[in-house]
């Protein structure tokens, strides 16, 4: 693998659920405002980081997955 997972499983589930909710909001309000487009982009990023278990922003600040806990 090219990356090391840095998101615990409970947070992965939370990111996927929140991302799908944001994508649903964006899909229902797509033509209405720029806010819907922004929420859609953030929702896609949350969903993808939850699916892969890797967050580039967390990696930039040095967050590592504690496997002992």
Query: Is the distance from CB of 15 to CB of 46 less than 8 angstroms?
Result: yes
- In this prediction, residue 1 carries a pLDDT of 57
- The tens digit of pLDDT for each residue in 13-68 reads 999 999 999 999 999 998 878 999 999 999 999 999 999 999 888 888 888 877 75
| Domain count along the chain | 1
Instruction: Write down the H helix ranges in the chain.
Output: 9-28, 34-52, 56-60
Cβ neighbourhood burial of 43 (10 Å; 0-12, 13-18, 19+): buried
Examine residue 68 and state whether it is found in any structural domain, yes or no: no
In a domain, 21, yes or no: yes
| pLDDT (average), residues 4-11 | 89
Residue 64 within any structural domain of the chain: no
For 24, the domain range is: 9-55
Residue 41: inside a domain, yes or no?
yes
């Amino acid at each position: 693998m090219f990356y090391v997972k840095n998101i615990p499983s409970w947070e992965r589930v939370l990111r996927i659920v929140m991302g799908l909710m944001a994508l649903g909001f964006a899909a229902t309000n797509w033509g209405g405002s720029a806010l819907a487009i922004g929420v859609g982009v953030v929702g896609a990023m949350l969903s993808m980081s939850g699916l892969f278990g890797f967050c580039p922003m967390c990696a930039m600040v040095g967050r590592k997955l504690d496997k002992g806990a």
